[in-house]
Amino acid sequence: MWKFFHKLASPPHFYRVAATLIPWFGIPGLILIAYGAYAGLFLVSVDYQQGDAFRIIYVHVPSAYLSMMAYMMMAVSGGIGLIWRLKLAHAVGAAAAPLGAAFTFLALVTGSLWGRPMWGTWWEWGDPRLTSELILLFLYFGYMALRSSIDDTAKADKASAVLALVGVVNVVIVHFSVEWWSSLHQGQTVFKKGTMDADMRIPLFAMLIGFTFIFGAMVLRRLRTEVLFRERRTRWVRELVLSPEGGK
């Protein structure tokens, strides 16, 4: 068991393992998303309150969930990288950050599109989840900006890991303070979620799991390039690139 992990931390080994893992994440992910999207758009009956507009939930909720999971992933891998000095852990943070930011953006856009028919406005400051999601997007921007402004990779890794850890503590505070704040300003709009029907819920679960798998596949793919880039001066990369398969 431990031996497997120790071996995995070695870049050339990881590079090969990741290649075999990607389809194992990608294919189930695609199937689940295809099913979830079809069921969510066509099979699930129209909501009696929201009409067809609620169907955006099948994209919105998985993106919002992934936006937070990616941040946790960055923070945890940053912590692992700082404590055990694993370079691969830092590479995970670097690979996950733009994906996390993309999912945060997607969650914001779909949330805003959903808000238009529900609340009558594209943006509702009174909703705590929208506001804290926006702050999360800024946290991602800060993380990526810090990473890109330090030239030395090892230094950028550690500095951004510290930032991610500080940020993860703050995300909790952001959540509670925004909740308190919006309860002060709450006028008309908060949309209360009732219990969901089972046939509505199953496609949502499929989408959640599918999105997670696809996210896993994308992280692995980005990690492979990241590892290749970081190890560009080593022998195994040179041999790999010069080999007949050309880096497959």
Query: What are the tokens at 73?
Result: 């992933």
Query: What are the tokens at 154?
Result: 């090892």
Residues 56-95 that bind other proteins (CB under 8 A): 82
* List 72, 76, 118, 150, residue binding other proteins (CB under 8 A): 150
* List 33, 88, 101, 174, residue binding other proteins (CB under 8 A): 174
Distance of CA 23 to CAs 8, 29, 176, 213, 248, Å? 18, 9, 39, 10, 14
Residue 135, judged by CB atoms within 10 A of its CB (0-12, 13-18, 19+), counts as: middle
* List 139, 214, 218, 227, residue binding other proteins (CB under 8 A): 139
Residue 183, judged by CB atoms within 10 A of its CB (0-12, 13-18, 19+), counts as: exposed
Closer residue to other proteins in complex, CB, 149/188: 149
What x-and-dash track marks residues 89-128 binding other proteins by CB under 8 A?
A: ----------------------------------------
The structure tokens 């890794």 sit at 157
Size of the residue set binding other proteins (CB under 8 A): 28
Note the residues at the interface with other proteins (CB under 8 A).
82, 135, 138-139, 141-142, 145-146, 149-150, 154-155, 158-159, 162-163, 165-167, 169-170, 173-174, 177-178, 180-181, 184
